[in-house]
Amino acid sequence: MTNPTPHDIAPGSPLITLENVTLRLRDRPFLPKTRWQIRSGENWAVLGPNGAGKTALTGVLVGRTPYSEGRVIRHEGSADIHRIGYLSLELQENWLAAAERAETARSFSNGADEPIRSTDLLHADTGPRHPPPHDLLSLLELEPLMNKELRSLSTGEIRRVLLAGAVMRSERLLVLDEPFEGVDSGAREHFRHIMTGLIRMGRQIVLVTHRFQLLPEAISHVLCLKDGRLVARGPLEKVLSEQPLSRLYEKPGRRSTGAAGRPTGRPSPMPPRDASGPENRRHRANGSPTLEMNDVTVRHGNRCILKNLNWTVRAGEHWGVLGPNGAGKTTLLNLISGDHLQAYANDIFLFGHRRGSGESIWDIKSRIGLVSSEFQFRFNRPFRVRDVVHSGFFDSVGLYRSVTRHQANAAMRWLAFFGMAEKAASVFNRLSYGEKRLVLLARAMVKNPNLLILDEPCQGLDPANRRVIIDLVDTIGMETPTQILYVTHHEYELPSCLTHILALDGSGGSTIIRPRFKSERHAARP
């Protein structure tokens, strides 16, 4: 790949300097008097717990975060805002939302409108549509993905296309914010290989990640943030010897931990259940399976995503769903929730009723709680935390109806259970990533669902917050009648309460369905 840098820069020459910079985040100062210099030849990792300021600080480099004090010195043209490549989970979610809107528009135009394709991501903001250089195509294995519909690509494939676009926009510097999240183990290793290859081709990387065990060997420097302050920066080995990662991610006032290293207490007692509703009584009385799929097949174009799947979830069972990117996990969840049209062309029973037998999608959603990163991004307006939880009673994004006193009290009890009662009046978008996930769990549980669907619930969370989420899910699974479907790429993140495993192999035609062994359920997690 030809490096378009206008001229060579001597190793060690400064590229960009943050000099006593104080960020302005939602009208309040953040990361005060921060000093940071990136020099030619350096590759940085930015580490720290959720809410520490990693995305905000690296956002200064690419012009996405305003600052109120200090100055940013761009010593070279290659450090100009428009010449730095950028990749983030938010960027990917925005493209997926755009693809969903485009698909809706196509359905009303009888397919006259063009869908969003991989080339649209590749050439966004790059000017003329020149094809990617051959060595970039080869390194990122892009050839099979060219001009494909975005909705047909897996999470890892979309990530590679977006990375290619970032590389094509950059002259030297790439800012990669959590590139390992939401992809399977094979894709994570592939991304490490890609980053190493890009560094060898002359790119420099600023990597934001919670998966510090996946840092490429070429990372030379580390910057550590905690509680909105810079606590360490410098050469990797020196910083990590002085600032152990366990201390960096330690939560203040953390609860005691059990043998597996996870919290054993919880902020508040489990809220009382109101399981006397007619649907709950009928489902328990008739003894029918919670979910039954018979010979289910789903295709997208010429691609078979699920083939002849037979799967039954019986009352009292909690399931983990595993599989690589593109294996059909999200498709499976959309069939259950009613968000996939092919659900009505297959033999699917949910809560004893055949899909398409007269129930509305809102009847289905009223009995299902959902938590996912994609769903979290939908709450992008200034909603109050309590209103986000209240919206769970009505399965809406945003609150458009008044809640009863009973519902308001139930919402506060669930916020208290998840340790978020003090944040009830806060604006949801001002919470840390981990706090948002806890609020969405409260929203999902507030209506006492029959089924709780957790799609990568630990995605984007630091190690301490991952342990908290897993512990709370365990409590829900063991102390409430709600059944759990837990989807993840990381098998070590499966909660202990799960009783069965559904493993999709990615070929569309092979699955493994088995009980979860006791040795697996009680294994320690990192």
As a whole number, mean pLDDT of residues 122-136 equals: 70
Decide which of 149, 169, 189 is a domain's last residue: 169
Q: Using an 8 Å Cβ cutoff, are 330 and 152 in contact? A: no
Q: Is the pLDDT of residue 282 over 60?
A: no
Is 452 a domain residue?
A: yes
**407 residue type, one letter:** Q
- Over residues 228-268, the pLDDT tens digits come to 899 999 999 999 888 778 788 876 654 433 323 333 345 56
Query: Helix count (H) and strand count (E) of the chain?
Result: 17, 19
211 falls in which pLDDT band (50, 70, 90)? confident
Which residues are CB-contacts of 190 (< 8 A; sequence separation ≥ 6)?
A: 141, 156
Among 227, 224, 248, 177, residue whose Cα is nearest residue 32: 227
Q: What is the pLDDT at residue 476?
A: 94
519 falls in which pLDDT band (50, 70, 90)? low
As a whole number, mean pLDDT of residues 501-525 equals: 68
Which of residues 172 and 360 earns the better pLDDT score?
172
Q: Which tokens sit at 236?
A: 């990797």
What is the CA 7 to chain-centroid distance, rounded?
38
Is 264 a domain residue?
A: no
Torsion over CA of 441, 426, 391 and 383, rounded to 10 degrees?
-120
Judge if 21 and 136 occupy the same domain. Answer: no
Q: What is the pLDDT at residue 276?
A: 39
Q: Where are the beta strands (DSSP E) in 329-435?
A: 347-350, 353-354, 368-372
User: To 5 degrees, how large is the angle CA 60–CA 460–CA 38?
Assistant: 30
Judge if 117 and 175 occupy the same domain. Answer: no
Q: Is the pLDDT of residue 86 over 90?
A: yes
DSSP state of 402: P
Q: Which tokens sit at 512?
A: 């493994």
Judge if 283 and 358 occupy the same domain. Answer: yes
**223 residue type, one letter:** L
User: Which residue segment(s) compose the domain that 207 sits in?
Assistant: 10-84+171-250
Q: Where are the beta strands (DSSP E) in 41-169?
A: 44-47, 67-74, 85-87
Judge if 101 and 188 occupy the same domain. Answer: no
As a whole number, mean pLDDT of residues 497-519 equals: 77
As a whole number, mean pLDDT of residues 396-421 equals: 92
Q: Is the pLDDT of residue 526 over 50?
A: no
Q: Is the pLDDT of residue 111 over 70?
A: no
Q: Is the pLDDT of residue 524 over 80?
A: no
Q: Which tokens sit at 75?
A: 């010593």
- Number of compact structural domains in the chain: 3
The H or E element containing residue 512 is: strand 511-515
Average pLDDT, the chain: 84
Q: What is the pLDDT at residue 319?
A: 96
Judge if 244 and 149 occupy the same domain. Answer: no
> Kind of pairing, strands 173-177 and 85-87?
parallel
- Over residues 184-203, the pLDDT tens digits come to 888 889 999 999 999 998 89
pTM for the structure as a whole: 0.82
Q: Using an 8 Å Cβ cutoff, are 261 and 314 in contact? A: no
Is 284 a domain residue?
A: yes
Q: What is the pLDDT at residue 109?
A: 60
Is 3 a domain residue?
A: no
Q: Is the pLDDT of residue 165 over 60?
A: yes
Q: Is the pLDDT of residue 279 over 80?
A: no
Judge if 356 and 423 occupy the same domain. Answer: yes
For residues 5 and 68, give the distance between their C-alpha atoms in angstroms, rounded to a whole number: 31
Is 25 a domain residue?
A: yes
Which of residues 126 and 399 earns the better pLDDT score?
399
Q: Is the dihedral of CA 225, 231, 234, 239 positive or negative?
A: negative
Q: What is the CATH number of the domain that holds 411?
A: 3.40.50.300
**429 residue type, one letter:** N
Among 96, 102, 97, 124, residue whose Cα is nearest residue 114: 102
